[in-house]
């Protein structure tokens, strides 16, 4: 069974206050693209946001305050003059938002740039748009240029997103290329072969984690030995393949516990566990609580 990800409009309806008139914020065409000031958006936000997924990519720039949230298995604190990319399909959650938070957020669908470059080319060119990649940019060479792109995209969105598509896609690509220049400094300084293998592992993990749970299965897909895969990931990410696999499974389990009505046995089955008790033990090992207690905590909150 496939678990539905939120479209931009579905996410807006679920996690913004329904009592507020949002017509002046979410303009026609926002489902494919919008660029808003964070200070405008947070007045509508319904927090907390439990583990969720969106079908669109997000790029966030913080000008003031600290933006705290979880992306994948990691907690981030985005400080002033820093950026974060949340790829489409990656699990994220938000517990709190600073009242003095300022900056910009861009959302665009993976197909929005289709007239300029194919969706596959976008992912090949910009690795940080793939799940499980390090996409926290805390050192930008030309902050003024990047900030001006955000400001321009915000102005084009407000002016008329549907008639300004060509200009908007040009500015988005310019922003992505600016971030790509900085992305090289976020990667571990290992051999190109190790970096390529680590990247390939994350791609096949994202595609297969529900059905493949063993290091040896991923090593076979990558045509290397399990020991070599372990060495590559320990070198490039400081985590073993088994850690990546287990943490990804439990992250998805938390998403399913929050966003579906599936029971524990159904979630175990959805994630490829033949033994629900083993799934529960693994969940407790990583989260220090059982899936049942986690579910009860959600229902009480």
Pairing of strands 102-108, 57-64: antiparallel
pLDDT at 242 over 70: yes
Token readout for 229 is 């895969």
CATH code of 235's domain: 1.10.10.60
Cβ atoms of 249 and 213 within 8 Å: the answer is: yes
pTM of this prediction exceeds 0.85: no
Alpha carbon distance 80, 68 (integer Å): 12
Arithmetic mean of pLDDT over the chain:
88
For residue 1, being part of any structural domain is answered with no
Portion of the chain with pLDDT greater than 90, in percent: 58
- Judgement on whether residues 60 and 113 belong to the same structural domain of the protein: yes
Cβ atoms of 37 and 154 within 8 Å: the answer is: yes
For residue 3, being part of any structural domain is answered with no
Show which of 118, 150, 183 is a domain's final residue. 183
The helix (run of H) or strand (run of E) holding residue 78 is strand 74-78
Range of the domain at 21: 8-183
Number of folded domains that form the chain: 2
For residue 89, being part of any structural domain is answered with yes
Show which of 139, 157, 183 is a domain's final residue. 183
For residue 27, being part of any structural domain is answered with yes
pLDDT at 3 over 80: no
Q: Which tens digit of pLDDT belongs to each residue from 130-174? A: 888 878 998 788 888 999 999 999 999 999 988 999 999 999 999
- Judgement on whether residues 203 and 103 belong to the same structural domain of the protein: no
Alpha carbon distance 66, 62 (integer Å): 7
Q: Which tens digit of pLDDT belongs to each residue from 13-48? A: 888 876 666 667 889 999 999 999 999 988 888 888
- Judgement on whether residues 93 and 146 belong to the same structural domain of the protein: yes
- Judgement on whether residues 178 and 197 belong to the same structural domain of the protein: no
Quick check: helix, strand or coil at residue 104? strand
Backbone angles phi, psi at 227, to 5 degrees: -65, -40
- Judgement on whether residues 110 and 31 belong to the same structural domain of the protein: yes
Confidence category of residue 298, pLDDT binned at 50, 70, 90: confident
For residue 146, being part of any structural domain is answered with yes
For residue 2, being part of any structural domain is answered with no
CATH code of 156's domain: 2.60.120.280
């Amino acid at each position: 069974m496939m678990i539905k990800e939120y479209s931009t409009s579905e996410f807006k309806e679920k996690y913004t206050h329904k009592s507020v008139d949002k017509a002046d914020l979410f303009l026609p065409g926002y489902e494919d693209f919008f660029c808003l000031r964070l200070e405008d958006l947070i007045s509508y936000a319904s927090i907390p946001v439990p583990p969720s997924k969106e079908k669109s990519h997000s790029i966030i720039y913080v000008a003031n305050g600290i933006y705290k949230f979880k992306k994948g298995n990691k907690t981030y604190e985005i400080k002033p003059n820093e950026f974060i990319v949340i790829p489409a399909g990656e699990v994220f959650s938000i517990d709190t938002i600073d009242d003095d938070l300022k900056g910009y957020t861009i959302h665009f669908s993976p197909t929005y740039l289709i007239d300029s470059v194919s969706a596959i080319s976008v992912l090949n060119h910009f690795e940080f748009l793939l799940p499980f990649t390090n996409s926290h940019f805390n050192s930008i060479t030309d902050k003024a240029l990047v900030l001006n792109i955000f400001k321009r995209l915000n102005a084009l969105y407000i002016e008329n997103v549907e008639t300004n598509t060509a200009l908007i896609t040009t500015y988005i690509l310019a922003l992505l290329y600016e971030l790509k220049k900085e992305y090289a400094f976020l990667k571990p300084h290992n051999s190109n072969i190790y970096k390529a293998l680590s990247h390939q592992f994350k791609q096949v993990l994202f595609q297969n984690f529900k059905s493949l749970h063993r290091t040896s299965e991923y090593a076979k897909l990558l045509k290397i030995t399990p020991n070599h895969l372990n060495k590559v990931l320990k070198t490039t990410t400081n985590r073993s393949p088994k850690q990546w696999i287990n943490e990804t499974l439990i992250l998805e389990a938390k998403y399913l516990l929050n966003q579906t009505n599936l029971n524990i046995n159904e979630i175990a089955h959805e994630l490829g566990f033949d033994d629900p008790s083993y799934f529960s033990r693994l969940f407790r090992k990583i989260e220090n609580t059982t899936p049942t207690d986690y579910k009860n905590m959600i229902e009480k909150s």
